[in-house]
Structure 1
Amino acid sequence: MSSCTAASYDDLVARVLAGGYGPDPADLRISVAFSTRQAVRHAGRSGGYRNEVLSLRLGAAVGSCAVEPGALTDAAVERCVGADVAGLLAHELLPVRIAALDAYLMHVLPHDTAPGARPHPLPAGSSLEKSRARARAVAELLDVPPGARVLVVGVVNSLLEAVRERGLTYVPCDLKGGTTEWGEPVVTDALAELDRCDAVLASGMTLGNGTFEALRAHAAAHGTPLVMFAQTGSAVLPRFLGAGVSAVCAEPYPFFWLDGGPGTVHRYAGTAALPDRAAAGAAA
């Protein structure tokens, strides 16, 4: 376990507050706070969805956390402006705490220079083309044999496609329930499915809704591969590599769905799980 690795979410926050990763967060203040709201229905898809993300800017860094659409008030966003990071790490709203932690860690450990990070290009294209390219970049981090069953926590249809392309089966799971694009039932209790799955592929949104730590602890205890795809907490989740998390596809703001041009995600993993960068870029 490296010096950058935290044993748990609470351990990570405690180490940040103690200056274990760099400057005292009490001395750093958020200059900009904003929310990004999106509604999408990709061409050729039968359904759509909405996203809302809280983002906080610290220097050149932007930290983000997804929230349930409509759950975050304008006043809550505005009160983050000028607040010190240490105070926001104790905020009453969990998404604010996560966005502040992400901003701090992005500030001190930006993906461009963070140990273990490897950039992976996303090509320009339509919203669906970029979604599929991002999904392939994530699914490549699943270091499991064909036929393995993957618990996918946070249903993204492009990710389910990419998992199938790898010759894997999956159990789709999301707190909202419902069905996938192909009519498959979506389970709502991730913990109840863990013992019958060989690996877990989970959204960073699990940080924002408080379910991540249980997934991490189970993976650490049972040796289950846990791959995170992270817009929420993209700088937070790499700090758990070796402590339950086996790989992370980190995607800081601005996200792929905001722009049709080329982009970059940053992948963290052991060398056995991470494809060659040139080959991966050609595949995308």
Structure 2
Amino acid sequence: MTALTDIGVTAPSYDELVARVLDGAIGPDPRTERIAVAFTTRQAVRHEGRSGGYRNEVLSLRLAEAVGSCAVEPGGLPDGAVDDCVGADVARLLEHELLPVRVAALDAYLMHALPHGPANGARSFPLPAGTSLEKSRARARAVVELIDAAPGATVVVVGVVNSLLEALRARGLAYVPCDLKGGTTEWGEPVRTDALAELERCDAVLASGMTLGNGSFEPLRQHAQRHGKPLVMFAQTGSAVLPRLIGAGVSAVCAEPYPFFWLDGGPGTIHRYGAAL
């Protein structure tokens, strides 16, 4: 697997990316771009045949034809956050006190300015119609293919998704599951709550875009960049943000904009960046 370089606009860090957006260096003036619709999506799931389940909550902002999203801990978003966003310009929201609002606003802006597609470095990957578990497994295979690591390598997984762990097993990759919620995996393995403490013993990192919204992304990016380790992001949160950080610690991204695979049983599309398969 070799890296691709034709991905268009990139930045050396998340903060620099925000600064360039605010300066109007990437697209239209964010002070003139207003959010028309803001909404949250709440989900609870337990796949057939799985012993446990989970919940998701996502803040999404609509800018013209684009939707940007940021996952939050269920119940963690203040009631007034959605009202704050409606009618507000992107520049104002990029300076909002809530990090998830800032991330969703940046994602919406970049989805509008640099939509997923070949012109901006994306390769589409079709997800077949099916049950939630079938679609979860199909997405997991698409994500894990992006990891440039040989069988036997150890991957720190930040944001535990059992289908991803299953796909890593199928590739012969060892993993250290990490999630702030702790608990155990489907196979009874303990989930570590401090991903940063596990990084030194890994060969690669596989992380959820949700790390953008909880503030844990930057240390992962810096570690990967400093040590030359692959950092692959699976991104419902920040699907248009993370591709712009390829080459600055991020090696590949599986981008999944709203609507997510778990919202519909029909066929769908995800977008992969930064690796030749």
Please, what TM-score do these two structures have when normalized by structure 1? 0.94
Q: Quote the Cα distance in structure 2 between the aligned partners of 1:93 and 1:138.
A: 29
Q: Quote the Cα distance in structure 2 between the aligned partners of 1:246 and 1:232.
A: 17
Structure 1 residue 134: deviation in Å? Answer: 0.4
Q: Which moved more, 1:113-122 or 1:219-228?
A: 113-122
Give the match for residue 46 of structure 1.
51
Give the match for residue 20 of structure 1.
25
Partner residue of 1:56 out of 50, 53, 61: 61
List aligned pairs for 1:265-276, cutoff 5 A.
265-271=270-276, 275=277
Structure 1 residue 202: deviation in Å? Answer: 0.2
Residue segments in structure 1 that go unaligned for 5+ positions in a row: 276-284
Give the match for residue 242 of structure 1.
247
List aligned pairs for 1:103-182, cutoff 5 A.
103-182=108-187
After superposition, the C-alpha distances for 1:12-31 in whole angstroms (9 at most, x for unaligned) are 10010001101110110000
> Any conservation in 1 of the 2:70–2:101 contact (CA below 8 Å)?
yes
> Any conservation in 1 of the 2:107–2:238 contact (CA below 8 Å)?
yes
Give the match for residue 183 of structure 1.
188
Q: Which moved more, 1:67-76 or 1:253-262?
A: 67-76
Q: Quote the Cα distance in structure 2 between the aligned partners of 1:39 and 1:98.
A: 23
Q: Which moved more, 1:73-82 or 1:62-71?
A: 73-82
Please, what TM-score do these two structures have when normalized by structure 2? 0.96
Structure 1 residue 103: deviation in Å? Answer: 0.1
Partner residue of 2:35 out of 30, 36, 60: 30
Give the match for residue 13 of structure 2.
8
Report the aligned-residue RMSD.
1.0
Structure 1 residue 115: deviation in Å? Answer: 2.3
Give the match for residue 278 of structure 1.
none
Give the match for residue 71 of structure 1.
76
Q: Is 1:199 paired with 2:194?
A: no
Q: Quote the Cα distance in structure 2 between the aligned partners of 1:112 and 1:58.
A: 18
Secondary structure at 1:27's aligned position in 2? coil
List aligned pairs for 1:80-95, cutoff 5 A.
80-95=85-100
List aligned pairs for 1:210-229, cutoff 5 A.
210-229=215-234
Identity of paired residues, percent?
A: 79
Quick one: which amino acid aligns to residue 150 of structure 1? V
Q: Quote the Cα distance in structure 2 between the aligned partners of 1:47 and 1:141.
A: 27
Structure 1 residue 270: deviation in Å? Answer: 2.9
Secondary structure at 2:92's aligned position in 1? helix
Q: Quote the Cα distance in structure 2 between the aligned partners of 1:247 and 1:76.
A: 31
Residue segments in structure 2 that go unaligned for 5+ positions in a row: none
**TM superposition outliers: structure 1 runs of 4+ over 3 Å:** none
